[in-house]
Amino acid sequence: MNAITPVGVNASAFLDRGDVTGNAQRRKAADFLRHAGLPRAGVEAWKYTSLRALADVPFTAAPHAVDGGAVDTLLAEVETISGLGAGASRVVFVNGSFDAGRSRLPKGVRISTLAAGTLPDDGIDPAGDVTTALNTILARDGLDLVVPAGVDGGCLLLVSIGQVDAAGPVSFHPRHRVVVEKGARLALLDASVGRGQYLHNPLYDITVADGGYLSHARIQAEGKQAVHLAVSHARVAAGGVYDSFTLTLGASLSRHEVHAGLTQAGARVHVNGAQLLSGHQHGDLTSVITHAAPDCVSRQTVKNVLSDHARGVFQGKILVERIAQKTDGYQMNQALLLSDGAEIDAKPELEIYADDVKCSHGATVGALDDDQLFYLRSRGIPGAAARSILIRAFLHDVVDQIDDQRLKDSLNLAVEAWWTREVA
């Protein structure tokens, strides 16, 4: 493709807030964002999601002191939807800053947070995409977690709470790093909730070493006025497994961009997800899975349940490099449209340069199957209950693919909570 970058919407509101002097990564990110701008329709990587609206919101840095009572209410909400209550290890971030008082750190793993203003030299290209660039310029805090070799880190809850009072819209850009060393294990449940108008722009830098195992489930249940722009950069080494799942429930506008690299033979990655949207919500799940070594496996199933005027976007690319012979890649995208105003835009993409590979993808879009509804109703199940059964079965199919039982249970709870609310 020719190197003409379409110029997006002026991002100076964000650029002005970042102090990029003295840090080469931040400078590079700022240069990129200045040139590319905030994407609007027409940029291929953002074909169906525009950030034009962001430019008009006067976001400021998030305050540290917030209403403690409101935060506790939101934290209780996370405990309810995740089922991980008082006993669970958890790391809590409020408006993007580490909250030591509400956190309960697990044993056996090394945990710290980024010192204010520093940026780890993590090898992530600050100018690779807009979401990463934005985070690079404005990151102030974040989790830094290492599961040492051979250790089972158990189950950890990472909570993000966005609590904004009447003072005006804020944005926070935490930068989390998770390293699972050789033969180590971790189940990470990551939940985002909030109230008010804010932009949550987290970056996840994930490394799974030889034979390591990381199950990472995200519940995005941000407040109704929130904008959620997340990006994950995952690298998986020989025999390592990264099992990821994104459940999108909240925010008015959200996008999770996953860049997963299979860097050594025998690595395995799952980039699954479900987007359950209603009203005028817009949810985008975009992923690039790069097979950069032979004998790797990738799996992706993404389901969308869209009602009212919601819009679901899925862009999934599997890139198989020349060296990556014997690749096994599979991708499935399905959307259930529950009303005539809903819209799905899907772009499943295969880019393949090796010949001895097994890669396939599938996509289906449609309403609930009349035959299936009839089958249930003919057996005496009322219409509403029949619909409920079919919708939840549709979702069960993907949630069931999460390996870790604890995370699977949490996600099922979150789906149930969503469904109860939808019906109500």
Cα–Cα nearest to 249, from 310, 188, 158: 310
CB closer to another protein out of 2 and 420:
2
Distance CA 251, CA 230 (A): 12
Residue 349 binds to another protein (criterion: CB under 8 A): yes
Q: Which of residues 365-424 bind another protein (CB under 8 A)?
A: 365-367
Residue 36 binds to another protein (criterion: CB under 8 A): no
Residue 351 binds to another protein (criterion: CB under 8 A): yes
Residue 347 binds to another protein (criterion: CB under 8 A): yes
CB closer to another protein out of 4 and 384:
4
Residue 121 binds to another protein (criterion: CB under 8 A): no
The answer to whether 187 and 155 are in contact (CB under 8 A) is: yes
The answer to whether 171 and 62 are in contact (CB under 8 A) is: yes
Residue 196 binds to another protein (criterion: CB under 8 A): no
The DSSP call for residue 49 is -
The site for another protein, by CB under 8 A, has a size of 38
Distance CA 111, CA 178 (A): 9
- Among residues 2, 21, 378, 420, which is the contact residue for another protein, using CB under 8 A? 2
Q: How far is the CB of 353 from another protein (least distance, A)?
A: 5
- Among residues 31, 152, 295, 343, which is the contact residue for another protein, using CB under 8 A? 343
Q: How many helices (H) and strands (E) does the chain have?
A: 7, 22
- What tokens does 294 get? 């032979």
Q: How far is the CB of 352 from another protein (least distance, A)?
A: 5
Cα–Cα nearest to 219, from 411, 404, 42: 411
The DSSP call for residue 395 is H
Residue 4 binds to another protein (criterion: CB under 8 A): yes
The DSSP call for residue 320 is E
Residue 361 binds to another protein (criterion: CB under 8 A): yes
Residue 44 binds to another protein (criterion: CB under 8 A): yes
Q: How far is the CB of 333 from another protein (least distance, A)?
A: 8
Q: How far is the CB of 165 from another protein (least distance, A)?
A: 38
Give CA torsion, residues 119, 120, 125, 130, to 10 deg.
Answer: -40
The DSSP call for residue 10 is -
CB closer to another protein out of 322 and 396:
322
Q: Of the listed pieces 113-121, 146-154, 356-364, 412-420, which binds another protein according to CB under 8 A? A: 356-364
Query: What is the per-residue binding string for another protein in 276-315, x denoting contact by CB under 8 A?
Result: ----------------------------------------
CB closer to another protein out of 150 and 362:
362
Q: Quick one: CA dihedral 228, 315, 244, 412, positive or negative? A: positive
Distance CA 271, CA 249 (A): 17
